[in-house]
Structure 1
Amino acid sequence: MYRVWNFVTNYSLFLIGGAIIALIWANLNPDSYHYFVDYAIVDDFFIGYLHEDENGNLIRTLTLHYLVNDVLMALFFAIAAKEVWEAVILKNGSLRGKKAATPLFATAGGMFGPIAVYLGLAAVMGSETYSAVANGWAIPTATDIAFSYLVGRMVFGAGHPAVRFLLLLAIADDAAGLLILAIFYPSAELAPEWLLLSLGASVGAFILFNWLPRRLDRGDQLRTRSTFVRKTFSFWPYAVAGCLSWYGFQESGLHPALGLLPIVPAIPHADRAFGFFADAERHLHDLLNQMEHALKYPVEIILGLFGLLNAGVEFSSMGPATWLVLAGLIIGKPIGILLFGWVAAKPLGLGIPEGMRIIDLVVIGFVAAIGFTVSLFVASVAFDAGPVQDAAKMGALFSFFAAVLSFIAGKVLMVEKQEN
């Protein structure tokens, strides 16, 4: 439990603090808050949001909001991608083999369920409401890994197989969320040729500073060339490649916060995964883990700024999008996870972990309904700044109440806690 709480305090308390300050500030003095959020750092710059100037020319302006959401949050998504990459590709990765089949099915249910509830209820509210909120369909598909894992361990106990099931589901949900952001929420008109810059940066860094030194070291137990490259260049080739890849994403029209994702697989990494939150990773000295550890404190500050710049919504802004996001999360998640998980476990015969009941999927669904971080991020890109975006963000913030529902569901369904 200490390891999980340590992770949450490291990466989430700053986020919560920033969100609380933003809520108070936006409700006491909304004008000064929005002036702060939209403060223009540099006009007519090579990075920033694209818009027309007074002469009709397209220029980019670097605002504080763009700096945090589109530039600095790329480091947060890179860390998330690192965990997904290890879970999929490395020996003993948690998303490899048959053991991940049922959680992956449940993940699909945990995404389709919220989408169906969100769009279905929006359609019932009328065509005008549907048109206004439809683009936010992906907001309730998100699961906040850190908070859901913490709540899951508190509900089920650290040794319950449902906790590992929840973890696999949350990691897969994270991977799917990254794909949704890339495909369905471009930041501008698509210019896919710019992705060649991202691809070239990743492939070039991998070949020159990862694959080639190891290739030349075949038969050399001292790994002379690999050691020389690591000590001489360290992380700098990948940092430069990351900047190029990020710029390629910005110019391509894909959301630039995902711009570091192509570089993660190119970085030298350990040959096995110890699992998300694994304490053993502190002792790994591969470059990928070293870079993650080095980013720990910067990402804490970045998440605090993200909360400060995105959670500032006035309570009067609650509207249809608020309740649709909440309904998608607290109704769609449990139903979707239960339905798809049952189909995988029973009719398809894939089974569930020993010691876990089918009804536990309902509790897992409520735990996974804690959206928060990624839900806030998707809300900020799904809607233009204004009442609908603010209402959707309020729904993402209210998703914390899913934790309360998780404890209630655990009691009603008689979950037996299993500690280590």
Structure 2
Amino acid sequence: MEVVNERGFLSSLKKLTQSESFAGVLLLCCAILAMIVANSPLGESYAALWKSKVGFDINGIFIGMSLEHWINDVLMAFFFLVVGLEIKREVLFGELAGFKRAALPVIAALGGMVGPGLIYYALNAGTSSEHGFGIPMATDIAFALGVLSILGKRVSISVKVFLVSLAVADDLGAIIVIALFYSSGVSFEWLGIAACIVAVLVALNKMGVKSLKPYMLLGVFLWIAVHNSGIHATIAAVVLAFTIPVAPKIDTISFMNKLKKMVDKFQDAQNKKDTILLHGDQVEALHHIAVHKTAVQNPLVRLEHALAPYSSFLIMPIFAFANAGVTIGDNIDFGLDHVFLGILCGLVIGKPVGIFLFTFLAEKLGIATRPKGVTWIEIFGAGALGGIGFTMSMFVTNLAFSGEHALVATDVAKISILIASLVAGVCGTIFFIVKDKLSHH
């Protein structure tokens, strides 16, 4: 009975982790836990933990960084690698494949970045916080998917596809914004080394090298070069993703023919033996099947599937726990410039208005068309959910501010992101629930 219950529990756990909403729920739980810990008696230990140095000494020279930097620069590089792989897959085969299919979500994403960015900048222009305009530009795909799955059938498949492809295009936009506006003084020597490594990666791709090992090894050196160049190191992960090959070593027809031969060989060997032990020919056949099984898979998809669970269920929750913990006290100055108002209005108002206006103009100008069955009201509702900007917004916050007020501005911005994302999520949910009720009357 206990075994059955254990299996039932494991089966339920597996179903839970495979659901679209789980990653978003886990992220939210980690953010809430971080806030609780940061404002508890453990607050000082929590803050000190992320500042502690992790590395090693070589002849008195320390090689390493703070735990915070290991998470935000190294661990998040894997998150950006998955994002890059997802963008490449969508551009080649998914909803962003071809100009007509890509036009609407890309234009919508552009509107969803321009709207919040302009609102924030208009409110903070001329202040020491104006550089934070990139904070409300991002959409968090994990949270957005979580809310969509909670809404269930109230949201059509077409709207879900539109929002997901918009979020992917938005991620690409956020990466470009980070590269252009949130990189420090550029070292052209290191940038030259990075360019040489990229050239080698492209050459490997063109030469038909399908093994992922050389790409990942060169990716480490590319990260080091980009990190030292002054451009944010996570950009290296995205560039690496774009060089990962798509075509498999063998096509599916060849794989099926080889598989048939191996299965026949396995069967022949089975007929010759009378023990439970595998025959030598059977072991060899199994080995060849395993090799061909890897060879028939697309390297890009194989890497994305291998890394995606770690990104969703380990890296992003750790990032959330390390970055969302803000001590709420005298240090939180909501009157600091208009950081709070800029982020709140940017995500809650700027996102849906920007997405709606850009898509409306794109259709009227004949540049793009809405998916079949998607109404303008649903476009606006999807835009409201696009205002959930947790992970990328937090990431940009860590890069946005400098000077004396940087720590205070960062804390205010993080609280603002949490409040704005919550408001956007609630508004988007209520919007679709009300729309669903009205459509049934």
- Bin for the TM-score computed over the shorter chain: 0.7 to 0.9
Equivalenced residue count is 367
| Distance in 2 of aligned mates of 1:263 and 1:417 | 46
Mean Cα displacement is larger for which, 342-351 or 20-29? 342-351
Partner of 1:211: 206
Q: 2:218 aligns with which of 230, 241, 256?
A: 241
Q: 1:118 aligns with which of 117, 120, 136?
A: 120
Mean Cα displacement is larger for which, 391-400 or 344-353? 344-353
Unaligned regions of 5+ residues in structure 2, if any?
A: 1-14, 249-293
Secondary structure, in 3 states, of the residue corresponding to 2:384?
Answer: helix
- The answer to whether structure 1 residue 338 and structure 2 residue 359 are counterparts is no
Say which structure is richer in helix: 2
Q: 2:109 aligns with which of 107, 110, 113?
A: 107
- The answer to whether structure 1 residue 173 and structure 2 residue 170 are counterparts is yes
1:142-166 CA distance string (max 9 Å, x none)? 0011221332452764644222221
> Max radius of gyration: which structure?
2
Note if contact 1:156-1:162 (Cα within 8 Å) is conserved in structure 2: no
- The answer to whether structure 1 residue 72 and structure 2 residue 75 are counterparts is yes
Pairing of 1:16-415 with structure 2 (within 5 A)? 16-29=28-41, 30-42=43-55, 62-88=65-91, 90-123=92-125, 130-152=126-148, 154=151, 157=154, 159-186=156-183, 188-208=184-204, 210-212=205-207, 214=208, 234-270=211-247, 285-299=297-311, 300-316=313-329, 317=332, 319=334, 320-348=338-366, 350-384=368-402, 386-398=407-419, 399-413=421-435
1:369-410 CA distance string (max 9 Å, x none)? 000111111111112451110110111112122111012222
Using a 3 Å threshold, how does the CA distance of structure 1 residues 75 and 286 change in structure 2: closer, same or farther? same
1:84-143 CA distance string (max 9 Å, x none)? 11222x2455342212222222222111110121122335xxxxxx51321110110000
Using a 3 Å threshold, how does the CA distance of structure 1 residues 43 and 3 change in structure 2: closer, same or farther? closer
Using a 3 Å threshold, how does the CA distance of structure 1 residues 349 and 83 change in structure 2: closer, same or farther? closer
Note if contact 1:111-1:336 (Cα within 8 Å) is conserved in structure 2: yes
| Distance in 2 of aligned mates of 1:416 and 1:152 | 19
1:238-287 CA distance string (max 9 Å, x none)? 1211111101111110111222222212222258xxxxxxxxxx997222
Unaligned regions of 5+ residues in structure 1, if any?
A: 46-57, 124-129, 215-225, 272-281
| Distance in 2 of aligned mates of 1:315 and 1:158 | 36
Paired AA for residue 73 in structure 1: M
| Distance in 2 of aligned mates of 1:366 and 1:82 | 26
Note if contact 2:84-2:242 (Cα within 8 Å) is conserved in structure 1: no
Mean Cα displacement is larger for which, 132-141 or 192-201? 192-201
Partner of 2:27: 15
- Per-residue deviation, 1:361: 2.1
- Per-residue deviation, 1:38: 0.6
| Distance in 2 of aligned mates of 1:91 and 1:28 | 48
Note if contact 2:25-2:143 (Cα within 8 Å) is conserved in structure 1: no
Secondary structure, in 3 states, of the residue corresponding to 2:179?
Answer: helix
| Distance in 2 of aligned mates of 1:155 and 1:109 | 26
Using a 3 Å threshold, how does the CA distance of structure 1 residues 14 and 151 change in structure 2: closer, same or farther? closer
Partner of 1:222: none
1:318-337 CA distance string (max 9 Å, x none)? 51423321110001111111
Partner of 1:55: none
Q: CA RMSD in A?
A: 3.0
| Distance in 1 of aligned mates of 2:114 and 2:349 | 12
Note if contact 1:156-1:416 (Cα within 8 Å) is conserved in structure 2: no
Secondary structure, in 3 states, of the residue corresponding to 1:255?
Answer: coil
Note if contact 1:73-1:257 (Cα within 8 Å) is conserved in structure 2: yes
| Distance in 2 of aligned mates of 1:4 and 1:179 | 31
- Per-residue deviation, 1:302: 2.0
| Distance in 1 of aligned mates of 2:230 and 2:367 | 42
Paired AA for residue 413 in structure 2: A
